[in-house]
Structure 1
Amino acid sequence: MTTTPDPWHHYGRTRAERDRAVPDAFHWTWSQDGGPGPELLGDLAGQVVGDLGAGAGRHAAHLVTHHKPAQVVAVDASPAQHAMATDLYGYLAPRLRIVGSDVVAHLHAMPEAYDVLYSVFGALDFTDPREVLPAAAVALRPGGRLVFSSLAHYLNGTPAQADVVPADLPAKAPDGSAATIRRWVLQEQVWTKVLDESGFTRISVNVLPTTSEGPR
């Protein structure tokens, strides 16, 4: 059996070697230094929360440590990211559950299991919205909430897509060779349309200002 090389093998590895702390703050912005925080998720006390595309688990660890949820489930398909999150924050179990899984498959296997789902430039950026959003709707309990941050335009300044189409972006395989990842960078009205088609209601979009110079 052949497997696809993990394009997230190198991501966050340098930081993990020098910073093992639970972050004191939670940010939605790309620069991770401003804007709204976890209050967008609502009161998490006693709630079951899912982090979709959790990476090293830093946002999930923050919520477990500072916001008293019943449990946060940090889901990521990358074996490297799953291993990194387990190494960094595995000690927060059982309130932090770190799951190595395709996000769509995980959500379909967890009907009405979650009160809140979120993604900070995570799986909702890198999974076809027509697959992940209906799956998220299945996994949320009635009245549940999905909150995610995504790019308003490509990092080089190219405008977001006017339809549900991805771009192939450069990445690096574990051996350092060139690889690609698919990312969905969509205009506001496109996100709104696909969210509506997936069964979500009370949809709102906030465009957050950049905190740095340049197109980001």
Structure 2
Amino acid sequence: MTTTPDLWHHYGRARAERDRGVPGAFRWTWGQDDGPGAEVLGELRGRVVGDLGAGAARQAAHLAVHHEPARVVAVDASPAQYEMATGLFARLAPRLRITRSDAVRHLEAERSTYDVLYSVFGAVDFTDPRELLPAAATALRPGGRLAFATLAHYLNSAPAQPEVVAADIPAKTPEGEETTMRRWVLQEQVWVKALDAAGFTGITVDTFPATSDGPGSAATLLVTAERPR
């Protein structure tokens, strides 16, 4: 029996060792230093919220502590990220629920469950949008909102794709061996078309430029859409 290597095994470990607190702010931009905050998600008090590709669940923890939702579900397929998130924020249960699952499978099992779904460079970036976006539409209640932050271009400054095509980007196995994973970096109009095909309406896209010129900096697309009522 073969298993898929956890390509997120190393991500966020250094920060988790030095910073175990709930963030005081919610940021969408790649640099985490500019742009709007949780208000993009709308009113969250009493709502059911899902974080797709939650990683260490820092954004989900912020929402659970500061915005009075009924429940925030932090979903991530990575065993290492699930373990890290649980170690950091399991104490916030039951308002925060940390779930290890593939995002598409989770959404397909939770039809009409969520008021709000979001992804901050998370599952939306690393899952075929032709699978994820329709699943998100069915998991939202009528009138529910999807919001996600994604790269406006590749981290090496190459332009985003003009069609729904993934690129192979560098990654590491748990043992530290070099490998690749797929990431979808798409132009604005491609996201709009994919959302429309999945049944979303009220689609908006805002672009936030990088706040530095350093290596690995990037502009951010912030996309919102709604499931029709």
TM-score above 0.5: yes
Q: Structure 1: which amino acid aligns with 2:106?
A: H
Partners of 1:181 and 1:77 in 2: CA distance? 14
Aligned to 1:50: 50
Q: Structure 1: which amino acid aligns with 2:58?
A: R
Question: After superposition, what is the alpha-carbon deviation per residue over 1:15-40, rounded to whole angstroms, capped at 9, x for unaligned?
Answer: 00000000001000001111100000
2:193 is aligned with 1:193: yes
Q: Structure 1: which amino acid aligns with 2:145?
A: R
Runs of 4+ in 1 over 4 A off after TM superposition: none
2:112 is aligned with 1:109: no
Structure 1: give runs of 5+ residues left out of the alignment.
none
Aligned to 1:171: 171
Partners of 2:179 and 2:114 in 1: CA distance? 34
Question: After superposition, what is the alpha-carbon deviation per residue over 1:89-117, rounded to whole angstroms, capped at 9, x for unaligned?
Answer: 00000110000000000000000000000
Q: Give the alignment of 1:34-113 within 5 angstroms.
A: 34-113=34-113
**How far did residue 210 of structure 1 move?**
1.6
Q: TM-score, normalised on structure 2? A: 0.93
Q: Give percent identity, aligned residues only.
A: 70
Partners of 1:166 and 1:64 in 2: CA distance? 33
Q: Structure 2: which amino acid aligns with 1:136?
A: A
Aligned to 2:29: 29
Q: How many residue pairs were aligned?
A: 216
Q: TM-score, normalised on structure 1? A: 0.99
Bigger strand fraction: 2
Partners of 2:194 and 2:90 in 1: CA distance? 35
**How far did residue 138 of structure 1 move?**
0.5
Question: After superposition, what is the alpha-carbon deviation per residue over 1:123-151, rounded to whole angstroms, capped at 9, x for unaligned?
Answer: 00000000000000000000000000000
Q: Structure 2: which amino acid aligns with 1:120?
A: V
Aligned to 2:227: none
Aligned to 1:205: 205
Partners of 2:52 and 2:42 in 1: CA distance? 17
